[in-house]
Structure 1
Amino acid sequence: MDLEKSSPPQRQEPERREPGGCLAVAIRIPVRIVVLVLVVPVRMLWDALVVVGRFLNDTVLRPLGRALLWIGRAVFVWPFVGLWRYVVVPLGTALGWLGQVLVVVPLVWLYRYALTPLGRALAWLYARVLTPVGHACLWVLRYLLVVPAVWVYAWILTPLGHAIAWCAKGLVWALTMIVTGVGTALYWIARILLVLPALALWRWVLAPVGREIGAALGHAWRIAGHISLAVGRFLATLFRWIFVEPVRWAYRTVLTPVGHVIRDTLLRPAAEAARAVGRAGRQALATARESVRQTRADIRRMLFGEPREREAVARREPVVPVRREPAVPACVEPVVPADREPRGPCRP
Structure 2
Amino acid sequence: MDLDKPPARQPAQQTPEGCLVVAIRLPVRIVVLVLVVPVRMVWDALVAAGRLLRDTVLRPAGRALLWLGKVLVVWPLAALWRYVVVPVGRALAWLGKTLVVVPAVWCYRHVLTPVGHACAWLARTAGAGLAWLYAQVLAPAGVGLRAVLAWLARHLVVAPARWLHEWVLAPVGRAIVLCARGLGWLLGTLVAGIGRVLYWTTRILLVLPALALWRWVLAPAGRVLAVVGREVWDALGHAWRIAGRVSLAVGRFLAALFRWIFVEPVRWVYRAVLTPVGHVVRDTVLCPAAEAARATGRAARQALTAARESVRQARADVRRMLFGEPGKREAVVRREPSRRETRTLGSSTTALTKD
Shared fold per TM-score greater than 0.5: yes
Distance in 2, matches of 1:209 and 1:287, equals 100
Q: What TM-score, normalized to structure 1?
A: 0.69
Indicate if the aligned counterparts of 1:36 and 1:217 stay in contact, CA closer than 8 A: yes
Distance in 2, matches of 1:61 and 1:141, equals 94
Alignment of 1:42-191 (within 5 A): 42-108=39-105, 109=108, 111-119=112-120, 121-122=122-123, 125-126=126-127, 129=130, 133=134, 189=207
Secondary structure, aligned partner of 1:78: helix
Secondary structure, aligned partner of 2:45: helix
Distance in 1, matches of 2:56 and 2:72, equals 25
Report the CA distance between 1:98 and its aligned residue.
Answer: 3.5
Structure 1 residues 10-51: Cα deviation after superposition (integer angstroms, max 9, x where no partner): xxxx99967753332221111111110010001011111111
Within the candidate set 27, 30, 33, 1:30 is matched to 27
**Total equivalences in the alignment:** 295
Q: Which residue of 2 aligns with 1:263?
A: 282
Cα separation, partners in 2 of 1:194 and 1:119, compared to 1, 3 Å: farther
RMSD, aligned CA: 4.5
Report the CA distance between 1:263 and its aligned residue.
Answer: 1.0
- Letter in structure 2 aligned against 1:113: P
Q: Which moved more, 1:90-99 or 1:299-308?
A: 90-99
Distance in 2, matches of 1:217 and 1:33, equals 10
Indicate if the aligned counterparts of 1:47 and 1:228 stay in contact, CA closer than 8 A: yes
Q: Which moved more, 1:27-36 or 1:69-78?
A: 69-78
Distance in 2, matches of 1:17 and 1:128, equals 102
- Letter in structure 2 aligned against 1:242: I
Q: Which residue of 2 aligns with 1:338?
A: none
Q: What TM-score, normalized to structure 2?
A: 0.67
Distance in 1, matches of 2:45 and 2:254, equals 12
Cα separation, partners in 2 of 1:86 and 1:287, compared to 1, 3 Å: closer
Q: Which moved more, 1:224-233 or 1:64-73?
A: 64-73
Indicate if the aligned counterparts of 1:24 and 1:208 stay in contact, CA closer than 8 A: yes
Cα separation, partners in 2 of 1:282 and 1:98, compared to 1, 3 Å: closer
- Letter in structure 1 aligned against 2:281: I
Structure 1 residues 258-305: Cα deviation after superposition (integer angstroms, max 9, x where no partner): 111111111111111111111111111111111111111111111111
Identity %: 58
5+ residue gaps, structure 1, are: 1-13, 325-348
Secondary structure, aligned partner of 2:327: coil
Report the CA distance between 1:127 and its aligned residue.
Answer: 6.4
1:322 aligns with 2:351: no
Cα separation, partners in 2 of 1:297 and 1:205, compared to 1, 3 Å: same
Report the CA distance between 1:252 and its aligned residue.
Answer: 0.8
Cα separation, partners in 2 of 1:105 and 1:195, compared to 1, 3 Å: farther
Q: Which moved more, 1:19-28 or 1:222-231?
A: 19-28
Report the CA distance between 1:114 and its aligned residue.
Answer: 3.0
Indicate if the aligned counterparts of 1:32 and 1:220 stay in contact, CA closer than 8 A: yes
Report the CA distance between 1:220 and its aligned residue.
Answer: 0.3
1:207 aligns with 2:208: no
Q: Which residue of 2 aligns with 1:216?
A: 235
1:296 aligns with 2:349: no
Indicate if the aligned counterparts of 1:20 and 1:208 stay in contact, CA closer than 8 A: no
